[in-house]
Amino acid sequence: MTQVQRNPSRWQRWPIRSIGVNFALTYSVIFILSAGIFLSFTWWSTTNLLNRHVQNAIESDASDLLHRWQAGGPHALSHAIEDRLDQNVDDDALYLLVDGQGRRLAGNLPGWPVKIQKPDRFYELPIRRYSFRTIAKFRVYDLPKQYRLIVGHDVRDRALLRHIITETLVWCSLMVSLLALGGAFVVRRLFRHVVYSIARTTRAIANGDLNHRIALNGSETDLVAETVNTMLERINRLMDGVKQVSNAIAHDLRTPITRARTRLEDAIEHAGTEEEIREAVSLAVSDLDHVTMIFEALLRIAQIEAGAKRAAFAEVDLNQLLETMADFYDVSAEEANIKLVLAIDPLPVITGDKSLLQQAIANLLDNAIKFAPSGSSITLEAHAHPSEGEGNSTGNITITVRDEGTGMAEKDIIRAHERFFRAEAARHTPGSGLGLSLVQAIMSLHKGTLTLRNAEPGLSVTLTLPLKG
Amino acid sequence: MRILLVEDDPTVRSYVSKGLKEAGHTVDEADNGKDGLFLAVSEAYDVIVLDRMLPGGIDGLNIVETLRGQKNKTPVLILSALAEVDERVSGLKAGGDDYVTKPFAFSELLARIEALCRRGQTDNPQTTKLVVGDLELDLLAREVKREGKRIDLQPREFRLLEFLARHAGQVITRTMLLEKVWDYHFDPQTNVIDVHVSRLRQKVDKPFAHSMIHTVRNAGYILRVPDKSA
């Protein structure tokens, strides 16, 4: 078992593992932040507006009062101030008129606030009115004869506004939090639902039922589902392969082992002479050699299929390879009264594993010689098919071995690549049934293909190798 | 010949040792890497047969590497259950001269050990002429004569005969012929090697009174000077 390595990031320290909850938390944080920003902006622009409003009111009020002063002096001004205070329903206007000695002549401010000194600027101060404290804006106007006038405005509206906005923010956060919680719950359920449907299928598969597939529903999880389904297809195929191979091993390895065992046991029980024992033992040894041969072929296929052998790739001169191979097998064919005909074009050099390619061609020639009838001929053909256009060396090379034997039944051709498969007619000839599997594996390693075709008469086996390996 | 056998499996060790002694060799045995290395560096052997995976912390490859590091050129045959091509390559790279995978036929092992023993004597590339009894091979002109009569051989037949002649008097297995003459590393399903040898016999032995190329049952072939008294 391999340990699943968790990505050691800073997320590791985050205690919550549920995606749904994290999702909702992130969302609520974003919501609250944006609500805060939005309300702060509203607060800022509204108070600005209010301030400007108050300042304008103060300024226009003051200029009106200054006109009165010019028209009627302190007396008229005092009157005007008293009038205004009477008419001020909102009770938010503040005035104070003092003379040179600092005596209060009119207004509703109890006394001169210490902090207010310079004219021509606004002051914002907390003041005590009646029984409550409030904030007000003031401006001082210096009048002739050292009279001084304060015009002010209560801005407790602004405090009220702030209160409202703060309250809104609190409620807003509360509601967002509730929504986030609910959302977390919903999102979590949705996630779980989706993951469960995948998990259910994979669990069934883990339990050995490989026929389940995850249903596609058009959602984002289809990507995962499709990948998992493809993976399952592959596992299924591999499992079938393993099953088929283990059945075949059971049969093809057990048979010679049983034979060897029986022979030895029989020799122990019944052999009378040393000659008989020797005979039995040497037959048993050849049975075991057969087992070894199958074993080695299997290991070789497995090793090639693992793809580790590309390390041995080098430039291969196919013409030389095919000609020496034909020369090697020529005598064998002649012995069986078969003619080995060559039709080999000049071929470009390819990249590959020379000894594996030799093995592949040897297997095909072995097979052809084994199954071709006496007096017929076997053709070893090789052609290069460079693809037109592009200019870079793509295209392929085909190597065909064609015999004039009985060929193979269509249903056997389909199964010929399978490990240990032997057509009924071949059951009684020597061989392991692994030859074409090995060729197939070698071709896959070279990104090539193996094709079997009935050539009427006979069988034509073609290896197709890409020019760019 | 003096042979060192380093092998931890007692069954295989005693069997190989018995076989080698029967074939007339002197055999020293070691059942672990440490003793094996000690014997290999302190004694002089004609061939060392090494199992690859050995107990005692020192495996076969370590022993070969140590020997080669000391400029010891004793031929080494590696015996191993690791049959993959890559393993074979790494064994030969480490300094092994031949590689036999388990399970093996004793005849194959013996033939290869004997080939290694005599390697120094016959593998000289400077040789231009091989003479075995009344058989003469001119390696430069690629000509063969027996009893002074010229024999016409095809190039592949000449190479086969050359290999047999270089190892005259030794058993040569089919696998050895396949590897050394054709440089093929696969197992042909047909008896193609036998056919090649029988073709050669047709030309080298048939026209003469005594045959030189013999089949050794369950093993391979041997080329030797005919015993004319028989």
Residues of A in contact with B195 (CB under 8 A): 331-332, 334-335
Domain boundary pick from B117, B136, B164:
B117
Final residue belonging to a domain, choices B85, B117, B149: B117
Query: Does the pLDDT value for residue A9 go beyond 80?
Result: no
How far apart CA A341 and CA A379 sit, in angstroms, is 5
User: For residue B59, what pLDDT is reported?
Assistant: 86
Kindly calculate the radius of gyration of chain A based on its CA atoms and give it in whole angstroms: 50
Take residue A271 and report the two structure tokens written for it. Answer: 């052999």
Q: Which H or E run contains A463?
A: strand A459-466
DSSP, res A385: E
Look up residue A118 and give its amino acid.
K
Nearest to B189 among A331, A334, A435 (CB): A435
Smallest Cβ distance to B83: which of A296, A328, A370? A296
Together in a domain, B9 and B111? yes
Residue found under tokens 């034909």: A326
State how far the Cα of B100 lies from the Cα of B79, in Å rounded to an integer: 5
Q: Helix H segments across A155-273? A: 156-206, 222-270
Does B229 fall in a domain? no
Q: Which of A335, A358, A431 comes nearest B184 by C-beta? A: A358
The owner of tokens 């369950």 is B218
The length of chain A, given as a count of residues: 469
A355: chain B residues, CB-CB within 8 Å: 85, 184-186
Task: Give residue A310's pLDDT.
Answer: 66
Q: Please give the Cα distance from B10 to A251 (Å, whole number).
A: 32
Structurally, what CATH architecture does the domain formed by A21-163 represent?
Answer: 2-Layer Sandwich (3.30)
pLDDT at A319: 92
On the question of pLDDT at A110 being above 70, the answer is: yes
Structural domain harbouring B150: 124-223
CB contact under 8 A, B186 and A362: yes
Q: Count other C-beta atoms under 10 Å from residue A243's C-beta.
A: 10
Average pLDDT over residues B98-119: 87
Cis before B103? omega within 30? yes
Closest CA to A460 of A386, A381, A383: A381
User: Do B163 and B181 meet the contact criterion of CB atoms below 8 Å apart?
Assistant: yes
With contact defined as beta carbons under 8 Å apart, do A106 and A95 qualify? yes
Is A332–B187 a contact, with Cβ atoms under 8 angstroms apart?
A: no
> pLDDT tens, A275-332?
888 888 888 988 888 888 888 887 788 777 776 556 678 888 999 999 999 999 998 8
Cβ partners under 8 Å of residue B7, min gap 6:
B13, B16, B29, B31, B49, B51, B79
Q: Which residue in the block uniquely carries the two structure tokens 């140590």?
A: B66
Measured between CA atoms, the residue of chain A closest to residue B102 is A292
Question: Measured between alpha carbons, how far is A83 from A303 in angstroms, rounded to an integer?
Answer: 109
Position B230 in a domain: no
Q: Are strands B98-101 and B76-80 parallel, antiparallel or unpaired?
A: parallel
Q: Are residues B130 and B69 in the same domain?
A: no
pLDDT digits (tens, 9 = 90+) for A238-278: 777 777 777 777 777 888 888 889 889 888 888 788 888 88
Q: Of B120, B130, B60, B132, which Cα lies nearest the Cα of B95?
A: B60
CB atoms closer than 10 angstroms to residue B33: 24
Nearest chain B residue to A291, by CA: B103
Statement to judge: residues B128 and B203 lie in one domain:
yes
Sequence ranges of the domains in chain A: 21-163, 222-304, 307-466
A167 touches chain B (CB under 8 A): no
Mean pLDDT across A197-209? 78
User: What is the reported pTM?
Assistant: 0.63
- The answer, yes or no, to whether residue A455 has pLDDT greater than 70, is yes
pLDDT of residue A388: 62
Q: Choose the closest CB to A328 out of B182, B191, B218.
A: B182
Nearest to B155 by CA among B173, B143, B168, B167: B143
pLDDT tops 90 at residue B86: no
Contact A329 B186 (CB under 8 A): no
**Predicted interface score ipTM higher than 0.95:** no
Q: Work out the pLDDT band at B123, boundaries 50, 70, 90.
A: low
Q: Is the pLDDT of residue B230 over 70?
A: no
**Alpha-carbon distance B115 to B47, whole Å?**
10
pLDDT higher at B148 or A428? B148
CATH code matching the domain that covers A222-304, chosen among 1.10.287, 1.20.58, 3.40.50, 1.10.10 = 1.10.287
Looking at chain B, which residue has its C-alpha nearest residue A283? B218
Confidence of residue A19 (pLDDT cuts 50, 70, 90): confident
The DSSP secondary-structure symbol of B127 reads -
Nearest CB among B86, B188, B218 relative to A362 is that of B188
Using the Cα atoms of residue B13, residue B18, residue B23 and residue B27 in order, give the sign of their dihedral: positive
Q: Which of B80, B100, B117 is the last residue of a domain?
A: B117
Disruptive mutation site among A289, A335, A356, A429 for chain B (greatest number of B CBs within 10 Å): A335
d(CA A311, CA B140): 37
**B102, B144: one domain:** no
Least CB-CB distance to B186: which of A292, A308, A358?
A358
Question: Are residues B131 and B87 both part of a single domain?
Answer: no
Q: Does one domain contain both B17 and B85? A: yes
Total domain count for chain B? 2
Q: Could you tell me which residues of chain B have a Cβ less than 8 Å from any Cβ in chain A?
A: 83-86, 103, 105, 156, 182, 184-192, 195-196, 199, 218
List chain A residues with CB under 8 Å of B156. 327-328
User: CB of A366 within 8 Å of any CB in chain B?
Assistant: yes
Residues A353-379 have pLDDT tens digits of 888 899 899 999 988 888 888 888 999
Which backbone phi and psi does A106 adopt, to 5 degrees? -155, 170
Q: CB pairs below 8 Å between A and B: how many? A: 57
Q: What is the strand order of the sheet B47-51 is part of? A: B26-30, B2-6, B47-51, B76-80, B98-101
- pLDDT higher than 60, residue A391: no
Rounded CA separation A327/A147 (Å): 132
Chain A: nearest CA to B34, how far in angstroms? 31
B96-B102-B105-B107 Cα dihedral, nearest 10 degrees: 20
Q: Which CATH superfamily is domain A307-466 in?
A: Histidine kinase-like ATPase, C-terminal domain (3.30.565.10)
